[in-house]
Structure 1
Amino acid sequence: MALNLHAVTSRDDPRIAPYTAVRERDLTGRDGLFLVEGKVTLEVCITRARFDLDSVFLEEGRVPVLAELLEKLPYSVPIYTAPQSLMDQIAGFPIHRGILACARKAPETDFGGWLSAQTGATTLALCIGTSNHDNVGAVFRNCAALGADGVVLDETSCDPLYRKAIRVSAGTALWLPYYHGGSGETLLDTLKGEGWTIWTLTPGETATNLYKTPRPDRLCLVLGPEGPGLSDALLARGERVRIPMANAVDSLNVATSLAIALSHRLSG
């Protein structure tokens, strides 16, 4: 199968505008587009993602190595190629993997509509104030590995389609259902109104021990920001649940806490 290849010879080529100054201008939120980087995420984009690819941008030596994968692309998707030095100039930093792609976000919907569309879902994770890209990526990866059906992020959490978040998620952010937007209070009220059981995770000593809490049919695990955790008002909107720890450590990392709670639910 022929590939839709286009050689790029100038950093000013308008066709590769979405790839310019990647580090300073991470694309997500710009014209409904976002960038992915690396072979793993490109493979997910082509074979499993819920998003349409606009184009692919490769270091020219990567084409023969990726030929089998690239042949799965619709011919309508252009594949731009450039020497490594020029690709680095365009992106604004060394693209060691030599692989970038530009994809398009899906149309937005309201949370109630999104939730109704998750037919058969029994386990969700809700992130409130999760602004670290690594944590968001790890949350998605843990959810995909440990049986969660989707991720909800409030408006103060970072976009899971940031390039680094996608990479840390090992591409799972490209196919696992998620919703991003709204306040934590509104999201929790909607979930409770739809019959979801809410566990607000906290290291507080008065919270119920995770391993002594009955597992509900439909569960949403709620995670607060690193450091302050969930506010008292948000904690009160669900059942406070804690992970018992052996030593006097302040708390666990957000993604680690989620992984433990999901593993416990999966084991039941």
Structure 2
Amino acid sequence: MRWSGRSGGAWQYQKVLEYVTAPDDPRLSDYTRLRDVELRKSLEAERGLFLAEGEKVIRRAIGAGYPVRSVLTTRRWLTQLEDVLGDATVYVVTDEIMSGVAGFPVHRGALASMRRTPLPSVETLLKAAGGRILVLEDLVDHSNVGAIFRSAAALGVDGIVLSPRCADPLYRRAVKVSMGAVFSIPYARMDDWYAGLAQVRQTGYRTLALTPDQRATPMDAVKLGDRVALLLGSEGDGLSSHWLEEADEAVCIPMSPAAMAAGVDSLNVVAAAAIACHGLMRSR
């Protein structure tokens, strides 16, 4: 069924509505088993897609230039998105079918299958970015990656470089936690972890390794130049010894003596990233 809508008296878009009545309908295969991480990683890589969940995130993905493959929604949510869907194919289902396909209740009412676009090379990103970037080493939790992107976008970070093993920022959970901030900040992925920092430094960035070690330079005391790359390590172990040794300077977020005495000697990586990003902005 082809359906058209009006905006300001002019016909501006025409989309295909397909009413689907079974959760195993092959037309919905982009949306199946959203909580099966390994299946989703394989399927999305094979098809070159990612999923955006909810009206705000879908709008931000479309606004960032990602093409729409299709949309899965209920009748109630269709009118909320009609102005941005263009000629996309829209699968309309009941709430029960939506939950059956996804594997859980989709409270935001709409999912969009978006086509991935090519990432820039690390060299291209570093040359184009401004003076403040993050470099993430082996953060494997999608929620943490999404939250760091959100903080980075809110606090004016110019770009993010990912080590090869970092979680995918366009995985559904990362996109959701970031509230679509993954679409607003450029990022690239290293091909070579071992030599990756050398490439960052060769482009003129001074590398600061964030560590819980209180002997490091306090973040609010470090001298920030025109180009600074802040290195953040994995959720459990932090930065590798290789990156710590190769960085230009180790920096820390000072902890209160009372907290240290009570055994609280560090912050989780998301909180640390937000505080450190705020610190990067003090000289801008």
User: Normalised by the size of structure 2, how large is the TM-score?
Assistant: 0.86
Name the structure 1 match of 2:19.
Answer: 7
Report the CA distance shift for 1:156/1:163 in structure 2 as closer, same or farther (over 3 A): same
1:243 is aligned, of 253, 256, 259, to 253
Structure 2 residue 183 is matched with structure 1 residue 174: yes
Contact 1:184 1:234 in 2 (8 A): no
Supply the distance in 1 between the matched residues of 2:74 and 2:51 (Cα, whole angstroms).
Answer: 16
Supply the distance in 2 between the matched residues of 1:52 and 1:215 (Cα, whole angstroms).
Answer: 39
Question: What are the within-5 Å matches in structure 2 for residues 187-206 of structure 1?
Answer: 187-206=196-215
Contact 1:124 1:149 in 2 (8 A): yes
Contact 2:49 2:115 in 1 (8 A): yes
Structure 2 residue 154 is matched with structure 1 residue 138: no
Contact 1:28 1:161 in 2 (8 A): no
Supply the distance in 2 between the matched residues of 1:50 and 1:157 (Cα, whole angstroms).
Answer: 24
Supply the distance in 2 between the matched residues of 1:161 and 1:253 (Cα, whole angstroms).
Answer: 22
Supply the distance in 2 between the matched residues of 1:49 and 1:90 (Cα, whole angstroms).
Answer: 27
Number of residue-to-residue matches in the alignment: 261
Name the structure 2 match of 1:104.
Answer: 115
Contact 1:23 1:92 in 2 (8 A): yes
Name the structure 2 match of 1:18.
Answer: 30
Supply the distance in 2 between the matched residues of 1:86 and 1:261 (Cα, whole angstroms).
Answer: 44
Query: 1:111-163 CA deviation, whole Å, 9 max, x = no partner?
Result: 223333x25x1111111010111110111000000000111111111111110
Structure 2 residue 282 is matched with structure 1 residue 261: no
Give the alignment's Cα RMSD to 1 decimal. Answer: 1.7
Report the CA distance shift for 1:198/1:16 in structure 2 as closer, same or farther (over 3 A): same
Task: For structure 1, list consecutive stretches of 5 or more residues without a partner in the other structure.
Answer: none
Contact 1:141 1:172 in 2 (8 A): yes
- One-letter amino acid of the counterpart of residue 150, structure 2: R
Name the structure 1 match of 2:9.
Answer: none
Name the structure 1 match of 2:59.
Answer: 43
Report the CA distance shift for 1:52/1:9 in structure 2 as closer, same or farther (over 3 A): same
Query: 1:195-241 CA deviation, whole Å, 9 max, x = no partner?
Result: 10100000113311111111110111100112211122211211101
Name the structure 2 match of 1:153.
Answer: 162
More displaced, 104-113 or 232-241? 104-113
Deviation at 1:91, TM superposition (A): 1.7
Identity %: 36
More displaced, 247-256 or 235-244? 247-256
Supply the distance in 2 between the matched residues of 1:253 and 1:208 (Cα, whole angstroms).
Answer: 19
- One-letter amino acid of the counterpart of residue 175, structure 1: S
Contact 1:50 1:175 in 2 (8 A): no
Deviation at 1:38, TM superposition (A): 1.5
Structure 2 residue 133 is matched with structure 1 residue 124: yes
Structure 2 residue 70 is matched with structure 1 residue 70: no
User: Normalised by the size of structure 1, how large is the TM-score?
Assistant: 0.91
- One-letter amino acid of the counterpart of residue 195, structure 2: T
Query: 1:3-42 CA deviation, whole Å, 9 max, x = no partner?
Result: 4322112334332211122222325323211111122211
* SS of the residue 1:29 aligns to: helix
- One-letter amino acid of the counterpart of residue 118, structure 2: P
Supply the distance in 2 between the matched residues of 1:234 and 1:109 (Cα, whole angstroms).
Answer: 23
Deviation at 1:109, TM superposition (A): 4.6
Which consecutive segments of 4 or more residues in structure 1 shift more than 4 A?
A: none
Structure 2 residue 89 is matched with structure 1 residue 89: no
Contact 2:121 2:189 in 1 (8 A): no
Supply the distance in 2 between the matched residues of 1:37 and 1:55 (Cα, whole angstroms).
Answer: 12
- One-letter amino acid of the counterpart of residue 20, structure 1: T
Structure 2 residue 50 is matched with structure 1 residue 34: yes
- One-letter amino acid of the counterpart of residue 157, structure 1: C
